[in-house]
Amino acid sequence: MLGTHMHTTIKTLYEKGYNKSQIARILKVDRKTVRKVLKALDEKGYVEHKTEPLILDPYKEYINIQVSKGLSAKRIYQDMHWELGYEGSYDTVKRYVAKIKLCLIKVQQPF
């Protein structure tokens, strides 16, 4: 899924005279994606995103609490799998835990 910044870049390049194929090569995305973004921007002024719930959504509060206790991503995953019936992958949990820990480090750093 492309972010808003990518939509703006696609629109800007198109307005500067680049064609869809050139934009796709520059941004390393499919030409059909460029076409879809330009069409949505032209018709609606924005690009709609699907809002499907993520597999971790029901577990995020639990994960946050476990991270604050100092548990590792592996331990949190194992507990979620066995105690809560989590069926997602360990890598998904690991990435989310890393993101939380990075935010905590940034908050704790002095200005």
Q: 97 near 73, Cβ under 8 Å?
A: yes
Q: How far apart are CA 93 and CA 100, in angstroms?
A: 11
Q: 72-102 pLDDT, tens per residue?
A: 999 999 999 999 999 999 999 999 999 988 8
Closest CA to 76 of 88, 89, 67: 67
Tokens of 98: 């890393």
pLDDT digits (tens, 9 = 90+) for 27-42: 999 999 999 999 988 8
Q: Between 89 and 8, whose confidence is greater?
A: 89
Quickly name the fold that domain 4-43 has. Answer: Arc Repressor Mutant, subunit A (1.10.10)
Q: Where are the domains of the chain?
A: 4-43, 57-108
User: Is residue 60 a contact partner of residue 73, using CB atoms and an 8 Å limit?
Assistant: no
Reported pTM: 0.54
49 vs 32, more confident: 32
